[in-house]
Structure 1
Amino acid sequence: MPTTHRSKPILATVAALAGVSAPTVSKVINGRDDVADATRLRVQAALDELGYRSPMQRRTRSTGPAMIDLVIGVHDGAYSMEILRGILDFAVDVDVDVVVSSYTPDKLSRVDHDEWAERMKESGRSGIIFVTSEITIDQLNAFHRREIAVLVIDPLNPPPPGGYASVGATNWAGGKAATEHLLDLGHERIAFLGGPAAAECSVARLHGYLAALMGRGVTTRQDYILAGAFNQKSGAEASREVLALDEPPTAIFAASDTIALGVLEVARNRGLRVPDDLSVVGFDGTPLTEQTLPRLTSVAQPLQEMGRAALRGVLRLSRGEQLDSSHTELATELVVRESTAPPPV
């Protein structure tokens, strides 16, 4: 009995639909890289319309470990490293390959997410995790259209309409605990040095700070509240500004450990003793807290567990499962060290 060959009719049908030659379709199906991106997208769209999956795609999906992309946005290295450790540790346990990349907000906004999602689909990736990234609903839809699961850790922007899966910590509670600790020590002139003004995690920490002040009847001073970036340079610039005030703060709550590093640097350069002249509290609980002099009081996030929870969640989404909640918050804990003390008399 003669063998029925289906490849040529399939190639001809796809080629006609995409407006390209059959050899070009063959190159796309077989993963060749000598095809222009725009042409590849047209061919892939035709393949998707016909419901066709290449043998390479079928093998990728049926054999070997799952593949997940991890995209790290702008944040301090210590924070990202702890998140990464949690993800990679859990990836080993569940036999998942993780592809790591880093994008600044500007670069992320210029990337063609449709092409990016298409490349992920072709290579068999089933999910993507963004860490402290700003991502729009149009960008999210590029992945959703191709059934690629998306989960965000500590998103910088509020969830778009319809929401999406995210993992974070109890930022409001952590901000309140940090501020209450300083109030309990007797401080009332407490400054807040935050991250980006629109960053959801920083805003929540600010609101926790404000709630603690209001709860104790302490007047809020706008000149004590500054937004910036989650890095040491921003912390240094902001602390120079508040410490130059006619009535400078006796304590500073920094919205990240790296911001706190900038505060400690400026205090040292100005001849201020921490904590005798100035108390400092950070946020994140990274290993940096044990390396500063004095050691830094900080609100610890369970960063490695956040990484594990994110990978666990995106894998469930990639299998079509429903998550118990679109947003998971893990508890923070204030860890008191030597950088805080009662205010100077």
Structure 2
Amino acid sequence: MPPNARRTTLADIAQAAGVSVATVSKVVNGRGDVAPHTRTRVQELLHQHAYLAPVFRHTGAVESPTIEVQFKGGLTSYVAETLEGIVDSAAELGASVVVSKASLAPHWARNLATAGRRAVIAVTSVYTTAHLNELARSGLPLVVLDPLHLPDNRVHSVGATNFAGGLAATRHLLSLGHRRVAYLGGPAMAVCNQARMHGYRAALEAEGARVPDAYVRTGDFTYESGLLGAGALLDLREPPTAVFAGNDEIAVGVVESARARGLRVPEDLSVVGFDDTSVARMASPPLTTVRQPLREMGATALRIALRLADGEKAESHHLELATELVVRASTAPPREVPPAPG
């Protein structure tokens, strides 16, 4: 909206619909005490006039803006810690947050706008071009946390330095004397997975170590994927002495798969995770992992969403926060320093 353009008000919608401002307000806020035909007429006018609810401004709040936060799948430690960062930041900035599972039903974006949402934050959710087009028509900006795919230029995103994290994890294992190091990651085409894997490869190649194809496996960011993938790695004729896992849940699956084979971590197998969620801290042994600043990422996404909702521009379409290696008890030197594979 141009800086001097007049924002459509509830009074404008009420006059056009021939109802009271209170009735329009009830529709905007999802109240049920409105006749169905009246609700439909008001919703049509709200959409027609691209009505945008008043938003928070740093110079003095008119009313608290509401941000929709969507996630897919289960409420994992990753999602929970990210949500904590979003909610804490919203409390500090006087915003409201509604958390939901992404369904992407027909007219979902228009319905969110009608209900007074000012922006959408998605935790790794995948949006198609059709979804993005609907968001654009509704006037709702979208911020994606740790995007699985390279985002459209209409999408703002927040992630972490995944390549640097993969590099640091693998260098740590190399510094301990490991040369047979495997990578067990998430979805093959996920941007974050590719960056972590490239960091892993770069560290090994810098040491002149070839990476056998069998040492690189992809799957899902789940405990079950760690169990299955580690089983395949440990059953190789020449198994790795260390595994860099694409996230903490995969890493815990690796530890359990090793334990089921009578191997001890870290005495027989070193394991490094990624994220530094509560899973890493409660694992047995506690995981060496790459800390992804999940709470800070959530807080950053919330601040960007509020700026976009207020008609401001974000500094960048994609921001990356720094990762950090956290060394705990799941890594140690190999019993014997093995030769580099190949």
Question: What is the TM-score with the length of structure 2 in the denominator?
Answer: 0.84
User: Retained in 2: the 8 A contact 1:75–1:132?
Assistant: no
Q: RMSD over aligned Cα, in angstroms?
A: 2.9
One-letter code aligned to 1:80: V
Aligned to 2:236: 245
SS in structure 2 of the partner of residue 126 of structure 1: strand
Structure-2 change in CA distance of 1:52 and 1:139 (3 Å): closer
> How far apart are 1:75 and its partner, in Å?
6.5
Aligned to 1:66: 65
Aligned to 2:295: 304
Aligned to 1:139: 131
SS in structure 1 of the partner of residue 178 of structure 2: coil
Q: Tell me whether 1:332 sits opposite 2:338 in the alignment.
A: no
Q: Equivalents in 2 of 1:82, 1:275: separation in Å?
A: 27
**How many pairs were matched up?**
316
User: Retained in 1: the 8 A contact 2:46–2:114?
Assistant: no
User: Retained in 1: the 8 A contact 2:55–2:309?
Assistant: no
User: Retained in 2: the 8 A contact 1:135–1:157?
Assistant: no
Q: Tell me whether 1:81 sits opposite 2:80 in the alignment.
A: yes
SS in structure 1 of the partner of residue 303 of structure 2: helix
Aligned to 2:140: 148
Q: Equivalents in 2 of 1:136, 1:284: separation in Å?
A: 27
SS in structure 1 of the partner of residue 117 of structure 2: coil
> How far apart are 1:200 and its partner, in Å?
1.0
User: Retained in 2: the 8 A contact 1:254–1:282?
Assistant: yes
> How far apart are 1:265 and its partner, in Å?
0.8
One-letter code aligned to 2:250: I
Q: Tell me whether 1:158 sits opposite 2:157 in the alignment.
A: no
Structure-2 change in CA distance of 1:96 and 1:289 (3 Å): same
Q: Equivalents in 1 of 2:77, 2:16: separation in Å?
A: 51
> How far apart are 1:124 and its partner, in Å?
1.0
Q: Tell me whether 1:217 sits opposite 2:208 in the alignment.
A: yes
Q: Equivalents in 1 of 2:197, 2:50: separation in Å?
A: 51
Structure-2 change in CA distance of 1:141 and 1:52 (3 Å): closer
**Cα deviation digits, residues 311-340 of structure 1 (max 9, x gap):** 000101111111111101000000111111
Aligned to 2:262: 271
- Calculate percent identity across the aligned residue pairs: 46
Q: Equivalents in 2 of 1:83, 1:164: separation in Å?
A: 19
Point out where structure 2 has 5 or more consecutive residues left out of the alignment: 1-11, 337-342
**Higher helix residue share:** 1
Q: Equivalents in 1 of 2:75, 2:196: separation in Å?
A: 17
Question: What is the TM-score with the length of structure 1 in the denominator?
Answer: 0.83
Q: Tell me whether 1:236 sits opposite 2:235 in the alignment.
A: no
